[in-house]
Amino acid sequence: MKKTKSLAGLSCAAILAAVAVSGPSAAADSKLDKLKAQGFARVVIANEPPFTSVSADGKVSGASPDVAREIFKRLGVADVVASISEYGAMIPGLQAGRFDVITAGLFMKPQRCAAVTYSEPMLCDAEAFLLKKGNPKGYQTFADIAKDPTGTIGVPGGGGEEKMALAAGVPRERVTLIPDGQSGLKMLQDGRIDVYSLPVLSINDLFKKASDPNLEVVAPVQGTQVQCDGAAFNKGDEALRDAFDVELAKMKKSGEFAKIIEPYGFSAAAAMSTSREKLCASQ
Nearest alpha carbon to residue 118 among 3, 279, 282, 270: 279
Residue 159 CA to residue 150 CA, distance in Å, equals 23
Residues in the chain: 283
Residue 181 engages ligand 6CS in binding (rule: CB under 6 A): no
Position among 82, 153, 185, 198 found at the interface with ligand 6CS (CB under 6 A): 198
Q: What are phi and psi of 92, to 5 degrees?
A: -60, -35
Which residue, 87 or 244, is less far from ligand 6CS as judged by CB?
87
Q: Which residue is nearest to ligand 6CS (CB)?
A: 159
Position among 65, 121, 154, 156 found at the interface with ligand 6CS (CB under 6 A): 156
Size of the site for ligand 6CS (CB under 6 A): 13
Minimum gap (Å) between residue 131 Cβ and ligand 6CS: 17
Chain residues 77-106 in contact with ligand 6CS, contact rule CB under 6 A: 87, 105-106
Which residue, 125 or 144, is less far from ligand 6CS as judged by CB?
125
Q: Identify whether the C-beta of residue 148 lies closer than 8 Å to the C-beta of residue 129.
A: no
Residue 160 engages ligand 6CS in binding (rule: CB under 6 A): yes
Residue 126 CA to residue 251 CA, distance in Å, equals 24
Q: What are phi and psi of 177, to 5 degrees?
A: -85, 125
Nearest alpha carbon to residue 143 among 224, 208, 63, 217: 224
DSSP three-state, residue 155: strand
Neighbours of 276 (CB within 10 A): 18
Residue 279 engages ligand 6CS in binding (rule: CB under 6 A): no
Query: From residue 21, how far is each of 27, 49, 73 by CA, in Å?
Result: 10, 44, 28
Minimum gap (Å) between residue 82 Cβ and ligand 6CS: 15
Single out the segment in contact with ligand 6CS by CB under 6 A; choices: 174-182, 198-206, 215-223, 247-255: 198-206
Residue 154 engages ligand 6CS in binding (rule: CB under 6 A): no
Minimum gap (Å) between residue 156 Cβ and ligand 6CS: 5
Residue 67 CA to residue 89 CA, distance in Å, equals 22
Contacts of 145 (CB under 8 A, 6+ apart): 139, 151, 152, 153, 165, 168, 170, 174, 194, 195
Residue 127 engages ligand 6CS in binding (rule: CB under 6 A): no
For residue 222, the one-letter residue type is Q
Which residue, 161 or 205, is less far from ligand 6CS as judged by CB?
161
x/- letters, 206..245, toward ligand 6CS (CB under 6 A): ----------------------------------------
Residue 199 engages ligand 6CS in binding (rule: CB under 6 A): yes
Single out the segment in contact with ligand 6CS by CB under 6 A; choices: 1-9, 29-37, 133-141, 194-202: 194-202
Contacts of 106 (CB under 8 A, 6+ apart): 87, 90, 91, 112, 229, 232
For residue 63, the one-letter residue type is A
Residue 107 engages ligand 6CS in binding (rule: CB under 6 A): yes
What is the chain's Cα-based Rg?
22
Chain residues 27-66 in contact with ligand 6CS, contact rule CB under 6 A: 48, 51
Position among 70, 100, 144, 161 found at the interface with ligand 6CS (CB under 6 A): 161
Q: Which residues bind ligand 6CS (CB under 6 A)?
A: 48, 51, 87, 105-107, 156, 159-161, 198-199, 202
